Structure 1
Amino acid sequence: MTTDVLIVGAGPTGLTLACDLARRGVDVRIIDKSAAPPRSSRAKGPNLRSLEVLASLGAADEVLAAGSLPLPMRKYRDQVPVADFDPYADPAPVPANAFDWPRLIAQWRLEEILRDRLAKDGVRVELGAELVGLDQHSTGDAAAVTATLADGAALRARYVVGCDGAHSRVRKLLGIPFTGEIRTDQVMVCGDVEIDEGALDRGIWHQWFDATGAVMLCPIPGTRAGWWFQAGPERDGAGVPQPPTEEGFRRLLTRHTGLPGEVLRRATLLSTYRVNVRMADRFRDGRVLLAGDSAHVHSIAGGMGMNTGIQDAFNLGWKLAHVLTGLAAPALIDTYEEERLPVAAWTLDFTSARLAETMAAIRRPGGGLDSATAPEASGLSTGYRWSSLAAGAPENGPRAGDRAPDAPCRSAATGAPTRLHHLFAEPRPTLLGFGPESEEILREAARTYGDAVRIHRVYGAEEVPDDPAGVVDHEGRARAAYEPGADGTVVVVRPDHHVGLVAPATEAPRVREYLALLCGGSGATVSRG
Structure 2
Amino acid sequence: MRTIHTDVLICGAGAAGLTLAIELARRHVDFLLIDKTTTPFGGSRGKGIQPRTLEIFEAMGVADRMVAAGGRYPAQRKYRADSGYDDVASVEAAAPSAAEPYGEPLMLPQHLTEGILRERLMELGHAPRYGHALADFEQDEQAGVSARVATPDGDVTVRARYLIGADGGRSFVRKALGIDFPGESMNARAVVADLSLSGLKDDVWHRWNGGGAQQISLCPLRGTPLFQLQMPIPLEGEFDLSDAGIAAAIAARTGRADIVVHAVHWRSDYAMSSRLAERYRVGRVFIAGDAAHVHPPTGGQGLNTSVQDAWNLGWKLAAVLGGAPDALLDTYEAERREVAAGMLGLASKLLDAARLRGDLRRGRETQQLDLGYPLSALTLDERAHDASNSAVLRAGDRAPDAPCRGAAGQPVRLFTLSGGGGWLLLRYEASGPSAIAGRPGLRIVDIGVRGELRDDDGYLRDAYGFQPGDIALIRPDGYVGVLTGDEHGAALANYIKWLG
TM-score normalised over the length of structure 2: 0.93
> Following the alignment from structure 2 to structure 1, what is the Cα–Cα distance between the partners of residues 266 and 60?
28
Paired residues of 2:379 and 2:480 also in contact (CA < 8 A):
yes
What RMSD, in angstroms, separates the aligned Cα atoms of the two structures? 1.9
> Following the alignment from structure 2 to structure 1, what is the Cα–Cα distance between the partners of residues 105 and 479?
20
AA of the residue aligned to 1:440: P
Deviation at 1:316, TM superposition (A): 0.5
How does 1:481-496 map onto structure 2 within 5 Å? 481-485=463-467, 487-496=468-477
How does 1:102-141 map onto structure 2 within 5 Å? 102-137=105-140
Task: Tell me the SS of whatever aligns to 2:215.
Answer: strand
In structure 2, the CA distance between the partners of 1:424 and 1:202, relative to structure 1 (3 Å rule), is same
Paired residues of 2:92 and 2:104 also in contact (CA < 8 A):
no
In structure 2, the CA distance between the partners of 1:8 and 1:425, relative to structure 1 (3 Å rule), is same
Paired residues of 1:243 and 1:272 also in contact (CA < 8 A):
no
How does 1:144-163 map onto structure 2 within 5 Å? 144-150=144-150, 151-163=154-166
AA of the residue aligned to 2:331: T
1:471 matched to 2:453? The reply is yes
In structure 2, the CA distance between the partners of 1:214 and 1:61, relative to structure 1 (3 Å rule), is same
> Following the alignment from structure 2 to structure 1, what is the Cα–Cα distance between the partners of residues 424 and 341?
29
Task: Tell me the SS of whatever aligns to 1:255.
Answer: helix
Q: Residue 369 of structure 2 is aligned with which of 375, 380, 398?
A: 380
1:449 matched to 2:439? The reply is yes
In structure 2, the CA distance between the partners of 1:400 and 1:89, relative to structure 1 (3 Å rule), is closer
> Following the alignment from structure 1 to structure 2, what is the Cα–Cα distance between the partners of residues 481 and 354?
31
> Following the alignment from structure 2 to structure 1, what is the Cα–Cα distance between the partners of residues 93 and 134?
48
Residue in structure 1 matched with residue 395 of structure 2 by the alignment: 400
> Following the alignment from structure 2 to structure 1, what is the Cα–Cα distance between the partners of residues 144 and 5?
8
TM-score normalised over the length of structure 1: 0.88
Cα offsets for 1:5-63 (capped at 9, x unmatched): 11000000100010011101110110000111223321013101110111111111111
Paired residues of 1:79 and 1:208 also in contact (CA < 8 A):
no
Cα offsets for 1:405-441 (capped at 9, x unmatched): 111112222x22221122110110110011133x522
In structure 2, the CA distance between the partners of 1:243 and 1:511, relative to structure 1 (3 Å rule), is farther
AA of the residue aligned to 1:477: Y
Task: Tell me the SS of whatever aligns to 2:427.
Answer: strand
Paired residues of 1:491 and 1:502 also in contact (CA < 8 A):
yes
In structure 2, the CA distance between the partners of 1:54 and 1:143, relative to structure 1 (3 Å rule), is same
Paired residues of 1:165 and 1:294 also in contact (CA < 8 A):
yes
Identity of counterpart residues, as a percentage? Answer: 38
In structure 2, the CA distance between the partners of 1:291 and 1:267, relative to structure 1 (3 Å rule), is same
Deviation at 1:338, TM superposition (A): 0.9
AA of the residue aligned to 2:188: Q
How does 1:49-198 map onto structure 2 within 5 Å? 49-78=52-81, 80-88=83-91, 91-137=94-140, 143-150=143-150, 151-183=154-186, 185-196=187-198
Deviation at 1:126, TM superposition (A): 0.5
AA of the residue aligned to 1:498: Y
Task: Tell me the SS of whatever aligns to 1:63.
Answer: helix
How does 1:268-417 map onto structure 2 within 5 Å? 268-326=265-323, 328-362=324-358, 368-370=359-361, 373-395=362-384, 397-413=392-408, 415-417=409-411
Deviation at 1:474, TM superposition (A): 2.4
Paired residues of 2:92 and 2:364 also in contact (CA < 8 A):
no
Deviation at 1:226, TM superposition (A): 0.8
AA of the residue aligned to 1:285: V
Task: Tell me the SS of whatever aligns to 1:278.
Answer: strand
Task: Tell me the SS of whatever aligns to 2:188.
Answer: strand
Task: Tell me the SS of whatever aligns to 1:80.
Answer: coil
More displaced stretch, 142-151 vs 293-302: 142-151
Task: Tell me the SS of whatever aligns to 2:106.
Answer: coil
Q: Residue 498 of structure 1 is aligned with which of 479, 485, 494?
A: 479
Deviation at 1:77, TM superposition (A): 2.8
Paired residues of 2:93 and 2:104 also in contact (CA < 8 A):
no
Residue in structure 2 matched with residue 35 of structure 1 by the alignment: 38
AA of the residue aligned to 2:483: V
Q: Residue 413 of structure 2 is aligned with which of 419, 422, 428?
A: 419
How does 1:421-436 map onto structure 2 within 5 Å? 421-436=415-430
* Unaligned runs of at least 5 residues, structure 1: 363-367, 523-529
AA of the residue aligned to 1:347: M
* Unaligned runs of at least 5 residues, structure 2: 386-391
1:226 matched to 2:226? The reply is yes
Residue in structure 2 matched with residue 258 of structure 1 by the alignment: 255
Deviation at 1:361, TM superposition (A): 1.4
Residue in structure 2 matched with residue 249 of structure 1 by the alignment: 246
Deviation at 1:90, TM superposition (A): 6.2
Task: Tell me the SS of whatever aligns to 1:431.
Answer: strand
Task: Tell me the SS of whatever aligns to 1:440.
Answer: coil
In structure 2, the CA distance between the partners of 1:429 and 1:251, relative to structure 1 (3 Å rule), is same
Paired residues of 1:98 and 1:421 also in contact (CA < 8 A):
no
AA of the residue aligned to 2:354: T
> Following the alignment from structure 2 to structure 1, what is the Cα–Cα distance between the partners of residues 179 and 426?
41
Cα offsets for 1:381-408 (capped at 9, x unmatched): 1111111111125235421111111111
Paired residues of 1:78 and 1:256 also in contact (CA < 8 A):
no
Report the number of matched residues: 487
